[in-house]
């Protein structure tokens, strides 16, 4: 029996599952969350003592405990011997957080006062752990770490062009159970990296306390042995899931052997089986990978004699972090400088920020729905993301006070006002506003031209706008200059030429050219 007695409630549950429901030992261990050897030993002792299910009438838990686990003290005539160790149980318990050989030996001695001493206990345990290659596993406590990496995938055929398109294989491996998630992506960009990591956590239904990536750019912007710089988006991803990013040292594959082995296993166990299959889309390839993942994770390993799925349920999942209500929403981060017009540009669209940040450098965080602007880590504003290029999104409260007074104006209102002073005034105002991507940027100029009527008559203003249109003058100062210099009043008649050149032999005249055209027509007709 495992060196720590089970509570009688669990013993009764084992007996009920076996004799009433007919469950197998593997099913019982999964349901009860205990080792297979523990289940075997419990059933063996029950069989030897003739206890089945339901329990004999009137049997208490104390009586059941005494019959299944008689102590040496109750049999003083029995010679004390070294109680056999359940090495598989020791192996499984050491995977749990904070469990050490010393703790397990103390529990063993409490239940077996005449049992072996620590030196022999430790020697036997380490010999067994070495036989199952425990030296590397010892570093990975249950639920503590997971290892992630990219590898070379298989090519798919573009259904439109017929060309071969290469893919990458993303692998996520838990440290304790070695359960694997794999997914094909087109590249190693940040968007693909974040999406694959998010999909992996949703697949497992929990999150490790730390994720160990390689030093690819999607995860680490600057590799450093002591202070690596984590990609801003990946850092935010980690904050969302309350986990830590612990990049492996550059050029040190031993820091992430499970990721290296996981990629190798994914290639040999999954991609090798798909090598002769033609895929025309990434979704089709990932559907095939998902089916093979189910087989791989449910396959029983040699040491220990459990599948990755079983170990995951026993070790990693109970000790991992729970997932937040919503998965992480991918966001792009970029730096920008606030322009003189208190707007920042993102994907050829202009978004306003408070005018007090003009010339300041800010951080832009863009999700599928929002564009948020941060200054020194604090959010200063946000907008709904727009797909309209060369356009503006402006909030009135972001404008300087001198600009806010123009917010009540609309293009239609300004044109209606301009029309009162003549058609040329309205036409000029239309052309000025059409020349700007952002109509509001032209309001001040348009209002200035219209208000020139206060100093000059409406008739003169209209004539000045006619002259401005004729010479393509689309500015307030241009119209004002026409009025100041009274160019709207002065005649623009062309000069009359009275001294024509005298006729002589070198002047050909209209008759010469008519004869040339006639001769050309004659030649063409032949």
CATH code: domain of residue 232: 3.30.420.10
* 62 domain-assigned: yes
State whether residue 394 is helix, strand or coil: coil
Highest mean pLDDT among 53-57, 64-68, 451-455: 451-455
The answer to whether residues 445 and 300 belong to one domain is: no
**Cβ contact 304:164 at 8 Å:** no
Question: DSSP letters of 208-262?
Answer: -SEEE--S-TTTEEE--SSS-EE-HHHHHHHHHHT-EE-PPPTT-GGGSHHHHHH
* 31 domain-assigned: yes
Mean pLDDT of the chain: 79
* 3 domain-assigned: no
Which residue shows structure tokens 């003169």?
460
* 492 domain-assigned: no
- Residue 100 clears pLDDT 80, i.e. is over it: no
Rounded to whole angstroms, how far apart are CA atoms 103 and 437? 73
- Residue 366 clears pLDDT 80, i.e. is over it: yes
Count how many domains the chain has. Answer: 4
What's the pLDDT score for residue 127? Answer: 75
Mean pLDDT on 363-381: 89
Which residues lie closer than 8 Å to 232 by C-beta, 6 or more apart?
221, 333
The answer to whether residues 39 and 94 belong to one domain is: yes
Rounded to whole angstroms, how far apart are CA atoms 421 and 462? 6
* 381 domain-assigned: yes
- Residue 374 clears pLDDT 90, i.e. is over it: yes
Which residues lie closer than 8 Å to 94 by C-beta, 6 or more apart?
100, 101, 104, 129, 138
Examine the fold and report which residue of 293, 319, 345 is the final residue of a domain before the chain moves on. 319
* 480 domain-assigned: yes
Rounded to whole angstroms, how far apart are CA atoms 483 and 465? 10
What's the pLDDT score for residue 473? Answer: 87
What's the pLDDT score for residue 4? Answer: 43
The answer to whether residues 61 and 23 belong to one domain is: yes
- Residue 136 clears pLDDT 80, i.e. is over it: no
Examine the fold and report which residue of 117, 137, 157 is the final residue of a domain before the chain moves on. 137
Examine the fold and report which residue of 291, 319, 347 is the final residue of a domain before the chain moves on. 319
What does the CA dihedral 212, 216, 219, 220 come to, rounded to 10 degrees?
100
What's the pLDDT score for residue 520? Answer: 46
The answer to whether residues 12 and 155 belong to one domain is: no
**Cβ contact 125:85 at 8 Å:** yes
The answer to whether residues 126 and 155 belong to one domain is: no
Which of 27-31, 82-86, 88-92, 462-466 has the weakest average pLDDT? 82-86
Q: What percent of the chain has pLDDT over 90?
A: 22
- Residue 226 clears pLDDT 70, i.e. is over it: no
Question: DSSP letters of 177-189?
Answer: T--EEEEEES--S
Q: Cα–Cα distances in Å, from 151 out to 46, 236, 361, 475?
A: 51, 24, 37, 61
- What is the pTM assigned to this prediction? 0.49
The answer to whether residues 217 and 308 belong to one domain is: yes
What's the pLDDT score for residue 491? Answer: 56
Sheet of 391-393: strands edge to edge? 343-346, 349-352, 391-393
What's the pLDDT score for residue 497? Answer: 43
Query: Other C-beta atoms within 10 Å of 366: how many?
Result: 19
Longest dimension (CA), the chain: 154
**Cβ contact 184:197 at 8 Å:** no
Instruction: Name the region of 198 (left: φ>0; alpha: ψ -120 to 50; beta: rest).
Output: alpha
The answer to whether residues 310 and 417 belong to one domain is: no
* 445 domain-assigned: yes
Query: Other C-beta atoms within 10 Å of 34: how many?
Result: 19
Mean pLDDT on 418-445: 80
The answer to whether residues 112 and 150 belong to one domain is: no
What's the pLDDT score for residue 84? Answer: 65
- Residue 202 clears pLDDT 50, i.e. is over it: yes
Which of 73-87, 159-173, 465-479 has the weakest average pLDDT? 73-87
Query: Other C-beta atoms within 10 Å of 142: how many?
Result: 25
What are the pLDDT digits (tens) for 180-194?
A: 999 999 988 888 899
Which residue shows structure tokens 């770490």?
145
Which residue shows structure tokens 């290296």?
260
Triad 370, 196, 366: Cα angle to 5°: 15
What's the pLDDT score for residue 521? Answer: 44
Please tell me which residue, 109 or 313, carries the higher pLDDT value: 313
Highest mean pLDDT among 253-267, 397-411, 470-484: 470-484
Joined together, the tokens standing for residue 168 give: 């990458």
Highest mean pLDDT among 232-246, 347-361, 499-513: 347-361
- Residue 336 clears pLDDT 60, i.e. is over it: yes
Mean pLDDT on 76-98: 64
Q: Alpha carbon 278 to chain centroid distance? A: 29
Please tell me which residue, 13 or 258, carries the higher pLDDT value: 13
Mean pLDDT on 8-26: 80
State whether residue 349 is helix, strand or coil: strand
The answer to whether residues 155 and 276 belong to one domain is: yes
Mean pLDDT on 359-378: 89
The answer to whether residues 175 and 267 belong to one domain is: yes
The answer to whether residues 238 and 256 belong to one domain is: yes
What does R_g of the chain's alpha carbons equal in angstroms? Answer: 42
Q: Cα–Cα distances in Å, from 339 out to 344, 360, 385?
A: 6, 8, 19
The answer to whether residues 284 and 430 belong to one domain is: no
Residues of the domain holding 435: 411-484
Mean pLDDT on 288-296: 92
- Beta-strand pair 210-212/145-152: parallel
Highest mean pLDDT among 127-141, 196-210, 258-272, 378-392: 196-210
* 227 domain-assigned: yes
Please tell me which residue, 58 or 163, carries the higher pLDDT value: 163
């Amino acid at each position: 029996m495992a060196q720590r007695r089970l509570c009688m409630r669990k013993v009764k549950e084992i007996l009920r599952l076996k004799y009433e429901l007919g469950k197998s030992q593997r099913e019982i261990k999964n349901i009860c969350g205990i080792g297979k050897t523990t289940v075997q030993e419990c059933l063996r002792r029950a069989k030897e003592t003739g206890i089945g299910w339901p329990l004999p009438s009137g049997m208490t838990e104390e009586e059941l405990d005494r019959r299944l686990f008689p102590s040496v003290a109750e049999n003083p005539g029995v010679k004390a011997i070294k109680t056999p160790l359940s090495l598989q149980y020791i192996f499984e318990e050491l995977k749990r957080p904070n469990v050490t050989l010393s703790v397990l030996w103390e529990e063993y001695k409490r239940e077996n006062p005449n049992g072996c001493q620590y030196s022999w206990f430790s020697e036997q345990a380490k010999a067994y752990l070495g036989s199952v290659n425990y030296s590397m596993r010892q570093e990975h406590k249950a639920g503590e770490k997971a290892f992630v990496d990219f590898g070379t995938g298989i090519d798919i055929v573009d259904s439109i062009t017929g060309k071969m398109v290469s893919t990458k294989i993303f692998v996520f491996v838990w440290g304790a159970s070695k359960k694997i998630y794999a997914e094909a992506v087109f590249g190693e960009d940040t968007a693909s990296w974040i999406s694959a990591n998010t999909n992996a956590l949703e697949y497992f239904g929990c999150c490790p306390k730390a994720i160990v990536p390689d030093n690819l750019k999607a995860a680490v912007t600057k590799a450093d042995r002591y202070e690596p710089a984590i990609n801003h988006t990946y850092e935010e991803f980690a904050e969302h899931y309350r986990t830590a990013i612990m990049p492996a040292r550059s050029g040190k594959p031993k820091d992430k052997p499970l990721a290296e082995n996981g990629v190798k296993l994914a290639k040999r166990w999954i991609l090798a089986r798909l090598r002769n299959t033609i895929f025309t889309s990434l979704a089709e390839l990932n559907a095939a990978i998902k089916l093979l993942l189910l087989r791989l994770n449910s396959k029983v390993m040699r040491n220990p004699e459990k599948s990755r799925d079983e170990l995951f349920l026993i070790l990693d999942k109970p000790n991992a972090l729970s997932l937040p209500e919503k998965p992480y929403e991918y966001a792009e981060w970029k730096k920008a400088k606030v322009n003189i017009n208190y707007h920042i540009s993102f994907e050829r669209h202009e978004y306003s920020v408070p005018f007090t940040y003009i010339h300041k450098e800010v951080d832009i965080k863009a999700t599928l729905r929002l564009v948020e602007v941060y200054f020194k880590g604090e959010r200063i504003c946000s907008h709904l993301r727009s797909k309209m290029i060369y356009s503006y999104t402006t909030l009135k409260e972001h404008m300087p006070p001198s600009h806010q007074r123009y917010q009540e104006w609309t293009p239609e209102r300004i044109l209606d006002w301009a029309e009162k002073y003549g058609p040329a005034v309205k036409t000029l105002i239309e052309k000025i506003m059409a020349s700007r991507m952002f109509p509001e940027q032209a309001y001040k100029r348009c209002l200035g031209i219209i208000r020139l009527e206060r100093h000059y008559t409406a008739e003169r203003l209209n004539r000045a706008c006619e002259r401005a249109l004729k010479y393509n003058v689309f500015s307030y100062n241009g119209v004002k200059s026409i009025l100041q210099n009274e160019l709207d009043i002065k005649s623009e008649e062309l000069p009359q030429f009275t001294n024509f050149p005298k006729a002589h032999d070198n002047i050909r005249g209209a008759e010469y050219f008519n004869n040339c055209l006639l001769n050309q027509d004659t030649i063409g007709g032949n």
